[in-house]
Amino acid sequence: MAKPQDDSQPKYMHIEGKTQYEMAQSIDAAFAAAEASIHHQSEEVALQWWYQQFELQIQEEFNVPDSCLPSGNVTNEQSFLQLYLALVKRTLQIQGDPKQKLSAGITINLLLERSLLDAIDMMQAKQIWRFDLQRKLQTLQGRLINERPSPAASS
């Protein structure tokens, strides 16, 4: 005959309750999910800051009006790449002769590097900096420099 449950005992003492191992697994799973969410949010914020800094520096350096800036939000690496390429293409189109375009291409690379450093400083100030995130951004920076449209192609 089954003994009725004693309500005075804590839940973990009941036979039907989760074992400590099962509770530990569920806690670990919840912790991993929260950590993944935080990492994703940190990456999104870092990309957004980087693009904002780059956009501001392009505006200052080349006097690009707000109406010429591409619209959109940076939510991931792909959206960052699309906005970056659109901004670079537009900036190079504004330049007149080929010498100005070549000079602008070099300046764009420097602004990209400077804006990444600014974004990393912001990450450290807001305490979301992580080595793996910085490494990911630096890898993306290398891709952007290598994949940037050539000044001659933007005529």
The arithmetic mean of pLDDT across residues 17-21, rounded, is 70
Question: Is residue 4 over pLDDT 60?
Answer: no
Torsion, CA 114, CA 62, CA 94, CA 103, rounded to 10: -60
> Could you tell me which residue, 106 or 12, shows the higher pLDDT?
106
- Residue 42 CA to residue 143 CA, distance in Å, equals 21
Tokens 């914020």 locate to: 45
What is the structure's pLDDT at 97?
78
**Domain boundaries of the chain, sorted by first residue:** 40-154
Higher-confidence position of 21 and 1: 21
User: Would you say residue 45 has pLDDT above 50?
Assistant: yes
pTM of the model: 0.72
Q: Determine the pLDDT at residue 38.
A: 65
Asked if pLDDT for residue 11 goes beyond 70, the answer is: no
What proportions of the chain, in percent to the nearest 5, are helix, strand and coil?
A: 75, 0, 25
Radius of gyration of the chain (CA): 25
Q: What's the average model confidence in pLDDT over 11-28? A: 70
Neighbours of 48 (CB within 10 A): 16
pLDDT at 124 (0 to 100)? 93
What is the reported pLDDT for 1?
45
Predicted confidence (pLDDT) per residue in 100-147, tens digit: 888 888 899 999 999 999 999 999 999 989 999 999 999 999 988 887
Structure confidence by residue, pLDDT tens digits, 47-96: 999 999 999 999 999 988 888 888 888 888 999 999 999 998 888 888 87
**Residue of 151, 136, 150, 131 lying closest to 50 (CA atoms):** 136
The CA distance from 104 to 92, in Å, is: 7
